[in-house]
Structure 1
Amino acid sequence: MTVEYSLTDAEHLPYVMHGLLQVHRESGGDTGFEERLAEAAAEPGWTAAIGYENGEAVGYCHGFSLAADTDWWSGLIVPLPEYVTWETGRRTAVLDEIAVREAWRGTGVAAQLHEVWLSLRPEERVTLLVDSAAGGGALQSACEAWGYRRVADRRESRESTVYTTMIRPVRRP
C-alpha cells in the first residue's frame, strides 16, 4: 500500500471535491457534507490534505485559521481564561474533519494526513472538537496520542452531545 499525500487550498477545492465526497460517503459520513465543506473552505486559511492510492482518494483532513473575532470558544460548559481564548487570526488553526476510507483505517493514513496538513500551517497551535463518547473514547485517545490535550467541554445549543475541546502545538518539540 503506497499512499501519496497532497495539500490543496480553497481555490483548488472544485478539482478535488469528487474525491472528498467519495471518501466522506464511504467513511459513513452524514448528509450536508458538501455544504459544510464549502462553508469551511470560505474560512480564512482553509487547506486540506488528501491521501491518494493509485489516483483514488483514500482519506482527507481539512481545517482553517480562527479569525480574531471567532465565536469558537463560546458554548464551553466551563469558560476558559482569556489568555487561552484570545485570537489574532494567526494564532490557532482548527482541524475541522478527518476521514479515511475503511480499507485504509488502522494503517497510519489518518496520522500521516494529520501531519501533512500541519506541515504548512503557520499558526502556533491547533484545536479540534471530539465527540467524547465516539468509539467508546477511542477517537479521543487517538487525538491524545497525536499530542492533543483536553482543555474544556462544550455543548452545542441544540444538541445533547458533549464535545471535548482539545489543543496541541502545531510543531511539537
Structure 2
Amino acid sequence: MLDVYAEVRAPLLHLANYAVSSFGERLDRHGAEPGFQAVLAYAGEHPVGYAYGNRIEDGDRYWQRMDPAPSETYTEQPVVALKEIGVRPSWRGTGVARRIHDRLLAGRDEPYVTLMVNPAVGDGKVHALYQSWGYKDIGHSQPSPTSPRLTVMVRPTR
C-alpha cells in the first residue's frame, strides 16, 4: 500500500502531512482502531489502488475536530470513516476508485460513511467526484497542525 500511496501522492510528498512516513504512521494508528478494513485493487499482480476506513463513534477525535460540530444524526450511532482512497494515475478515470469505495462499504453495518477531502486537490475535481457519489459537505476539520483545512463530507453507506 505504501508504494501505491507514494505514486498517488507524488506531487505532495514534499509536504510533511503527505510524506510516506506520515502516511505509514497514520496507517499503523488507523489499523489498530475498531472496525478497520482495507481494500486493495489489482491488475494481475500489480496493485493499482486502495481504500481503508474504520468505525468511529460519538466522542471520537474525528468528530471533535470538526467545525461546526456534527449533527446527532451522524453521531448517535457508529459510522464508517473512509480515511484514505487512492488510485495510481494511470488507472484514474477507469472506475477503479468507485469500485474500491463500493467494495469497502459493501459489508459495513454503519448507516453512514464520512470522509475528509482537501477541496483544493485537483482544482476541486476530487471534491466534485465525491459529491457525484452522493456525499454532502457538513463542515471542516484540520486533523493535525501540518494538514490543510479539509471539508468533511457524509452520505448513507448504501
With structure 2 as the length reference, what TM-score do the two structures score?
Answer: 0.85
State the Cα deviation string for residues 120-157 of structure 1 (Å, max 9, x = none): 11110000001111111111001001110001122346
Farther-moved stretch of structure 1 (151-160 vs 119-128)? 151-160
The aligned residue for residue 16 of structure 2 is: none
Distance 1:47 1:156, change over 3 A: closer
1:60 aligns to 2:64 (yes or no): no
Name whichever structure is richer in helix by fraction: 2
Distance 1:122 1:139, change over 3 A: same
Q: CA RMSD in A?
A: 1.8
Indicate the percent of aligned positions where both proteins have the same amino acid. Answer: 35
Moved over 4 A (4+): none
1:71 aligns to 2:52 (yes or no): no
The aligned residue for residue 84 of structure 1 is: 73
Give unpaired runs (5+ residues) of structure 1.
Answer: 1-19
Distance 1:107 1:131, change over 3 A: same
Separation in 2, partners of 1:156, 1:54: 36
1:72 alignment partner, SS class = helix
Separation in 2, partners of 1:51, 1:86: 31
Would you say how many aligned residue pairs link Structure 1 and Structure 2? 149
State the Cα deviation string for residues 16-48 of structure 1 (Å, max 9, x = none): xxxx12211221252222221111110101001
Separation in 2, partners of 1:38, 1:157: 16
With structure 1 as the length reference, what TM-score do the two structures score?
Answer: 0.79
Separation in 1, partners of 2:58, 2:67: 21
Cα distance, 1:70 vs. partner?
A: 0.9
Note if contact 1:149-1:168 (Cα within 8 Å) is conserved in structure 2: yes
Separation in 2, partners of 1:34, 1:167: 25
